[in-house]
Amino acid sequence: MAALLQNPDLQFVLWTLVKIVVILFGLLGVVSYLTFAERKIAGHMQARTGPNRVGPFGLIQPIADVLKLFFKEEFIPAGANKVIFHIAPMLAVIPALVSFSVIPIGPGFIVTDLNVGLLLFLAMSSIGVYAITLAGWSSNNKYALLGGLRSSAQMISYELAMGLSTVGVLLLAGSLSLVDIVHAQQKMWFVVQQPLAFVIFMITAFAETNRAPFDLPEAEAELVAGFHTEYSSMKWGLFFLGEYANMITISSIAVTLFLGGWNGPWLPDSLKFLWYFAKLGALIFFFMWVRWTFPRLRYDQLMHLGWKVLLPLALLNVVVTGCSLYWVLNR
Amino acid sequence: MIPILFAAFAAILVVSSLLVILHRNPVTSALFLVLAFCALAGIYLLLRAEFIGMVQVIVYAGAIMVLFLFVVMYLNLGHDIEGGVHIAVRRGLGWILGTVLVAEGVLLFSRGWGPGPVVPEGVLPPPGNAQAIGLLLYSRYLFPFEITSMVLLVAMVGAIVIARGRSASAPRPEGRGAARERGTATPGATPDAPGPGRGVPS
């Protein structure tokens, strides 16, 4: 047994598994309380109190919600493609959790420092399109299909602008590894040098997570509930989980790329992760704030914004960053 | 460790590639092709070509296959039911080409030919191969790189011209947003011109 534990391969696997379990369960716990936070914030923005009946200040509410979800009837429509109907909710959660593995939470605290970490995030966000598209198609429901088609068009269009908006940061940091990008921001956050890219990234982040004002795939006024009309019980819960996990992941990427990651004054290295959590919390609050403030875009406005405004601006940002970097380096 | 992972990825790749051509439902076939691309990306990762692996997922699994799936779903293709002379000719051609391919494979294996020059063991590419690929692309292979981008640009322009030609001659009955917008938009400029070029519906 002791000899087996000396095996470097096994040690690596065990240590990685421990980190994965810690981050996974931490993330799931945070997600359930984010739903509570969202309801509280929404309540106070609309001059209500929000949930306050279950436990002190309503703090047990998420647990009650999850229990209720587990005991709901699981319903599968008659004409549905059953296998794909089951796979789609899993696809909604897994990519968000996978891309969390390359996010540096604190100095040295990361599941794996991949040298193409940013590309892994982009790859996973493009895999995430399948969840909604397949959910919409396999439900055999016209509203779900329309929601699925809308979402794939929306996510493909905004992925381009999102990818291009990160190029400026890559040029400045000179690396695709998120750890190196955080280290490159010790003196100055990239949001100072790349304000345009930050704005574009945040707008595309709303579109990629299908949050308001880009929640056309589930526009309840026209599509009932969009792609998850036919989903019930924990399968619906997985879509909900996926949305919040995606929100956390994409906010973490924004913190890492533009807001300096765990960099911050005063705290010693072992506590620097608190800075990361503070920035993450601020961005997630921003997500909720926007959701309860702005009206939904119309479909042609969405396409117009993505293709004719954000994409050219992101390209311009790449050109300007490249030219100024060349000028600075060869002065 | 690595041989086990390679065997796993290779098995997934072979099985899902077979299911792409053997499965009757086009949507399921497309999904197995996505799985095949992901398994291939895994093999690239094992070869320490992280950049190629990730680009494989982003471009093939994430962009091209989504558009494929999109078209299949949009046309609502059911089971592949065909008959008559066409299918007979196609089947015959398939059998002939398949036999030739198998014969080639048998010939190669019987002569014990290796698959080209093998990279010597122990020489691993330096970490950060994205830089290496970038340097090569923009220096030694600059001309092919630019030619490729020109080809893609021509394809894009062609798609836009085809899409605009159709919408200018006859108003599309299915274009909900486009048809309603025509009164307010400038003539000839559809509000969603880039959309149809990439297979994105208006």
Query: What ipTM was assigned to the predicted interfaces of this complex?
Result: 0.79
The minimal CB distance from B57 to the residues A127, A148, A176 is found for: A127
- Indicate the pLDDT class of residue B153, thresholds 50, 70 and 90: very high
Structure-token pair, residue A180:
């190196």
pLDDT tens string A219-250: 666 777 777 777 877 888 888 888 888 888 99
- Indicate the pLDDT class of residue A128, thresholds 50, 70 and 90: confident
Among A67-81, A155-169, B38-52, the least confident range: A67-81
Q: How many CB atoms lie within 10 A of CB A50?
A: 18
User: Cβ contacts of residue A75 below 8 Å, gap of 6+?
Assistant: A230, A232, A233
Range 142-161 of A in CB contact (< 8 A) with B: 145, 148-149, 152-153, 156-157, 159
Q: How many CB atoms lie within 10 A of CB B81?
A: 7
- Indicate the pLDDT class of residue B126, thresholds 50, 70 and 90: low
Range 291-310 of A in CB contact (< 8 A) with B: 299-300, 303-304, 307-308
- Indicate the pLDDT class of residue A127, thresholds 50, 70 and 90: confident
pLDDT tens string B54-70: 888 888 888 888 888 87
Residue A83 Cα, gap to closest chain B Cα (Å): 10
Closest by CA position to B192, among listed A118, A154, A197, A274: A154
pLDDT score for B100 = 93
Q: Which residues are bridge partners to A106 per DSSP? A: A109
- pLDDT of A83 > 80? The answer is yes
Secondary structure of chain B in HEC code, one letter for each residue: CHHHHHHHHHHHHHHHHHHHHHCCCHHHHHHHHHHHHHHHHHHHHHCCCHHHHHHHHHHHHHHHHHHHHHHHHHHCCCCCCCCHHHHHHHHHHHHHHHHHHHHHHHHHHHHCCCCCCCCCCCCCCCCCHHHHHHHHHHCCCHHHHHHHHHHHHHHHHHHHHHHHHHHHHCCCCCCHHHHHHCCCCCCCCCCCCHHHHCCCCC
The answer to whether the CB atoms of A126 and B58 lie below 8 A apart is: yes
The better pLDDT of the pair B39, B175 is held by: B39
pLDDT tens string A258-270: 888 788 787 777 7
pLDDT score for B113 = 64
- Indicate the pLDDT class of residue B178, thresholds 50, 70 and 90: very low
pLDDT score for B181 = 43
Total beta-carbon pairs less than 8 A apart between chain A and chain B: 93
pLDDT tens string A296-325: 888 888 888 888 889 999 999 999 998 988
Residue A243 Cα, gap to closest chain B Cα (Å): 19
The answer to whether the CB atoms of A176 and B130 lie below 8 A apart is: yes
The minimal CB distance from B69 to the residues A116, A133, A176 is found for: A133
